[in-house]
A and B are shown apart, each in its own frame.
Chain A
Amino acid sequence: MNAAQFVLDVLSLGGAYALMALGLVIVYGILRLVNFAYGELIMVGGYTMFLVSGSGLPWLVMAGCGLTMAIVAGIATDYLAFRPVREKSVTAVLITSFAFSTLLQNAALLFISPRPRAVPLPELFSRTVEFAGVITPARNLITIAVAVIMLGLFSWLMRSTALGIAMRAAATNFRMARMMGIPANLIISAAFAISGLLAGTVAILWIGRIGTVVPGIGLEPLLIAFIATVIGGMRSLSGAVVGGFLLALIDTTLNYTLPQDLLKFRDAFTFSLVILILLWRPEGIVRGPASGQRT
């Protein structure tokens, strides 16, 4: 076991986890509702890249198509599943978001295939490189770089732009934010669009590890994002990032240390640790602002 290798693994896995968690918590923060169709945004990104793979376009353009469609799907989630019932009842929104998730998955099953479909990836993704004395897949370094860029961009957006500050205000007190003249629909759609952008980014990085997309591809990222936000603290954006990296640290440590025949039970160990973390800090590691009623 090599320390540099370990750090690289944690950072690349954690970067992907952090982006997943951030995409989920940006919507949760404002609506206090988990978007269960979040995983399907990743699926949409993957299938879009599959669908344009025969076009002969440069890879970056294809990746751009995947990102764009994930954003479109994110905004569509708001318009189709959330907005019509948002002011009625929480239960209704939970059900419509499940329904939208099932709808998208079944559309993929019906119109594409239940079997894995290859997603175009640049040759760089499968190459291995030597970095800091470690031989590692280039995609791990790409993941770290993309995560740094996206987290930086996100942090700039939330700290320095009028929209980002308005979104943070809406996340602490939605009603008061509206009484500042901040339009509720604008803020919510923006949150879904950012969620879609992060999901699209995750789609490229996540599918880059496997190379194929299946209708159920979104389930694991949704689960990871959910656990990461729960242990990180569901009310805070930085909590989602902390949670993502912590979960990656746990997973990677278990990968390195568990004996071969216990490795297939890794998730059981992970969840046990998650339970311990929650016993220690039921509200998650990073506590967000105290207020926050739903409107």
Chain B
Amino acid sequence: MLDVESLEVSYGAVRGVRGVSLMVRKGELVTLLGANGAGKSSTLMAIAGAVRAAAGRVRLDGEDVTGAAPEEMVRRGVAAVPETRDVFPDLTVAQNLQLGAFTRRRDQAGVLHDRSEHFRRFPILAERQRLPAGNLSGGEQQMLVIARALMSRPSVLLLDEPSLGLAPIVVDQIFGMIRGLKESGLTILLVEQNAAKALAVSDRAYVMRLGRIEAEGPASEIAAATELKSLYLGAEP
């Protein structure tokens, strides 16, 4: 479904991503692991079109979408949640969700239906729907940005460090939700530091180091490969 080939991303003279190839099949949950600075987020943002790729190809259902603008990627069914957890702080929770459905604004009935669905899944968001999103706690904001991304009814969801800086109980909630999304058939590419939790819900995983893919395989194999742990946990082997 999503096919990335020899992707490179540069920041000035620094090459953050050096020839990454990966693929995510329909309905799969794939995790990208690696230490800080390994190039995971850059890879994800380049797929989403938010960062320009210096070289390489991104294909979606066989179609070349390399260099497409982020708004174009959303129209094509790829929604991304960056790690910066960007809610629009002065807009209300409900308005944030409404913006997530910007590409579907002619389908108001469907949008309202999806919104009540998300409110059922996250009652806390329903409770605070009229509050500015900036007033929410970190965990609530994370729920909001994921729900907001889902409002575009994506076929692929790119999630960047959804558990970053959240309390353990909230992290469990978030992973529960990711598992639920996977079970509903959504294709997901997940970037995580919390390797154990991420591998527990994933089908397959890639391990990145210094801008390259160092290892790949079924999640259970990656989890069992002790020699890889130091890679994605950040220590040098």
The interface of chain B, by Cβ under 8 A from chain A, is 48, 50, 69-71, 74-75, 79-80, 82, 84, 86, 88-91, 95, 98-100, 102-103, 105, 134, 148, 152
Q: Pick the most buried of A168, A169, A289: most chain B CB atoms within 10 A of its CB.
A: A169
Known contacts A168-B88, A169-B91, A172-B90; decide if A180 and B100 are in contact (CB<8 Å). yes
Selected from A162, A178, A290, A291, the residue in CB contact (under 8 A) with B71 is A178
A176→B82 contact, CB < 8 A: yes
B90→A168 contact, CB < 8 A: yes
A-side contacts of B90, CB under 8 Å: 168, 172, 289
Q: Pick the most buried of A166, A181, A291: most chain B CB atoms within 10 A of its CB.
A: A181
Top 3 nearest A-B pairs (CB, nearest first) are A181-B74, A181-B103, A176-B86
Tell me the minimal C-beta distance from B225 to chain A in angstroms: 34
Q: How far is the CA of A184 from the CA of B105 in the complex (A)?
A: 17
Q: How far is the CA of A260 from the CA of B103 in the complex (A)?
A: 60
Q: How far is the CA of A291 from the CA of B75 in the complex (A)?
A: 26
B-side contacts of A178, CB under 8 Å: 50, 69-71
B102→A181 contact, CB < 8 A: yes
Q: How far is the CA of A168 from the CA of B148 in the complex (A)?
A: 16
A-side contacts of B48, CB under 8 Å: 179
Q: Pick the most buried of B70, B91, B98: most chain A CB atoms within 10 A of its CB.
A: B70
The interface of chain A, by Cβ under 8 A from chain B, is 162, 165-166, 168-169, 172-173, 175-184, 289-291
Q: How far is the CA of A184 from the CA of B91 in the complex (A)?
A: 19
A-side contacts of B84, CB under 8 Å: 176
Q: How far is the CA of A182 from the CA of B75 in the complex (A)?
A: 9
A166→B99 contact, CB < 8 A: yes
B75→A181 contact, CB < 8 A: yes
A162→B105 contact, CB < 8 A: yes
Residue ID in chain A nearest B100 by CB atoms? A180
A183→B71 contact, CB < 8 A: yes
Q: Pick the most buried of A175, A176, A179, A182: most chain B CB atoms within 10 A of its CB.
A: A179
B-side contacts of A177, CB under 8 Å: 88, 99
B-side contacts of A182, CB under 8 Å: 71, 99, 102
Residue ID in chain B nearest A186 by CB atoms? B71
Selected from A165, A175, A290, A291, the residue in CB contact (under 8 A) with B98 is A165
Selected from A169, A181, A183, A290, the residue in CB contact (under 8 A) with B152 is A181
Tell me the minimal C-beta distance from B120 to chain A in angstroms: 22
Q: How far is the CA of A166 from the CA of B95 in the complex (A)?
A: 9
Tell me the minimal C-beta distance from A189 to chain B in angstroms: 14
A169→B50 contact, CB < 8 A: no
Tell me the minimal C-beta distance from A176 to chain B in angstroms: 4
B-side contacts of A181, CB under 8 Å: 71, 74-75, 102-103, 152
